[in-house]
Structure 1
């Protein structure tokens, strides 16, 4: 109770944070998706969400949440089910080896897992447990973490509807590192109707100082903007499998107005990470802001938008 009260007092000292806190409460589920997204957008960006004629990348992501509801997106968002699609389209050699999948924490046989492994839920975003030494894992504490994951109803946070009907499960994957020997950097390709246009590299994710994000064009030129996170201040080495990564991103993004294809590289070999339909849930600011419009201009909404936009409220 004290933790909840502390969060509430902190929120009340900042009106913007107070409003965002209220949107996290269960009662906010009574608000229809369209009204909820309009309200949250205004709170975060301080301006009206234009759904009739969206111009920015963030606006168009909100539009896609409401009106581009391809049932296939649920399977592609599920961290377990998407593996079947990836194996079919680009080959299972690009999948990080799977160690197991379970519906309950009690089903996990830790004696059979290797000393190093990664746990993550199939139905949320950003949740991960990295084990580098199984003998040091506090299973009681880990049970609390995993059970909290399984109870999360991630759709309600940002109204990213593909998460709504994913079956909550836990998967374990092989622990892997890249050439640095320290971490596994994300290479995240932003793809528009099957064409990667730019990418960003996420580094330092689980290290001191927090995640750093650097945007590049496909010629590996560093781009002059940030999106919510700070840059690393250096040019990352271009991955050896970069051309193969572009080919993979093209194949996995075919027929989709926008999707981000996340890849890793280990010993010069690309591995699949995940598909992300709404990066930052469409609520992360660009600095300078003009890049929100530049990247938004690349995202061509489906031609049927004027006919179907009233189908979802």
Structure 2
């Protein structure tokens, strides 16, 4: 509960977010300069869980994701993890209608022209994870500190600390998208966990960035599952399925067909499906399932490809 409260404070206070972001960047640079990819992955995993991952014969979900970082270097993962380039992937697959409106793309914070933007919008680092600003009133944003935060984003790289390969050579940019909301008054996202091109589970969050955050997993028929990821399941909190659940499932299967594992995220706005993102290593693939035995249960669902590490 203390950890959740600290995360809540960091996410609500731009100055604390700036300090945290800069600290994470410096730690990443230090890691990149001092240790190899294998050593960095083992250190990250051990620091989090207290044990080393088995990278020679991985069996759990978290171990297999670490193996994929080191051995599965499919260039398409870089395109799909990039929040700007993935748009072309969806267009090629025939899903241009699922894309949220892009208002602008910047390579430098100095290019950011707030006056030309609407009152509400979303800014995302295209090469990041969780590097977002949800703006509901641009007049109330402290742009001085937020531009400093975004500068850190543009000079940071997710590859450095966790060695998530798709991000290694990704071009840093900021994308501004149209503000979205749904009938919940927030924006529910539905995260489809897809193993070898087949969706199995959906993660749904309610009350994100609050102290009463619920995160539940459901099967494809929307039956709540007895496990969570980082947070314990909350069967006491009802999360309604999206109206377009079956269509989302079908699209997630199609989009994930090229990969051993990927999480495909959607929103639903006025019964319309909006694509969110594709994530290849949720929480950098660390073992955060609760109960912990589900790390093995989900690991059994993931069949690893032959190594194609040609670096």
**What range describes the TM-score normalised by the shorter chain of this pair?**
0.7 to 0.9
Aligned residue for 1:193? 196
Aligned residue for 1:122? 126
Q: Is this contact kept in 1: 2:31–2:161, CA < 8 A?
A: no
Matched, 1:231 2:223: no
Deviations 1:15-51 (A, max 9, x none): xxxxxx9x92633222111122122222322223111
Matched, 1:86 2:90: yes
What's the CA shift for 1:109?
2.1
2:183 partner SS: coil
Of 283, 293, 303, which residue of structure 2 is paired with 1:290? Answer: 293
Q: Is this contact kept in 2: 1:121–1:171, CA < 8 A?
A: yes
Matched, 1:157 2:161: yes
Of 229, 244, 261, which residue of structure 1 is paired with 2:247? Answer: 244
Aligned residue for 1:110? 114
Q: Which whole-Å CA distance do the structure 2 matches of 1:42 and 1:112 have between them? A: 47
TM-score for both structures, normalised by structure 2: 0.87
Cα–Cα, structure 1 residues 300 and 279, in superposed 2: closer, same or farther, change >3 Å? same
Q: Which whole-Å CA distance do the structure 2 matches of 1:88 and 1:117 have between them? A: 26
2:241 partner SS: coil
Deviations 1:247-305 (A, max 9, x none): 11011101210000011100111110000001111114222121111100000001x24
Q: Which whole-Å CA distance do the structure 2 matches of 1:43 and 1:104 have between them? A: 34
Q: Which whole-Å CA distance do the structure 1 matches of 2:93 and 2:56 have between them? A: 35
Aligned residue for 2:17? none
Q: Is this contact kept in 1: 2:69–2:163, CA < 8 A?
A: yes
What value does the CA root-mean-square deviation take over the aligned residues? 1.9
Q: Which whole-Å CA distance do the structure 2 matches of 1:264 and 1:52 have between them? A: 38
Q: Which whole-Å CA distance do the structure 2 matches of 1:59 and 1:256 have between them? A: 17
Q: Which whole-Å CA distance do the structure 2 matches of 1:210 and 1:76 have between them? A: 32
Larger radius of gyration: 1
Aligned residue for 1:38? 42
Q: Is this contact kept in 2: 1:122–1:169, CA < 8 A?
A: yes
Of 145, 163, 187, which residue of structure 2 is paired with 1:184? Answer: 187
Aligned residue for 2:258? 255
2:300 partner SS: helix
Aligned residue for 1:67? 71
Q: Which whole-Å CA distance do the structure 1 matches of 2:256 and 2:96 have between them? A: 17
Aligned residue for 1:57? 61
Aligned residue for 1:265? 268
Report matched runs for 1:204-223 at 5 Å: 204-206=207-209, 208-209=210-211, 211-223=213-225
Q: Which whole-Å CA distance do the structure 2 matches of 1:124 and 1:149 have between them? A: 7
Of 86, 100, 103, which residue of structure 2 is paired with 1:99? Answer: 103
1:298 partner SS: coil
1:141 partner SS: helix
How many residue pairs get matched? 286
Single out whichever of 258-267 and 82-91 deviates more from structure 2.
82-91
Matched, 1:142 2:146: yes
Cα–Cα, structure 1 residues 268 and 25, in superposed 2: closer, same or farther, change >3 Å? closer
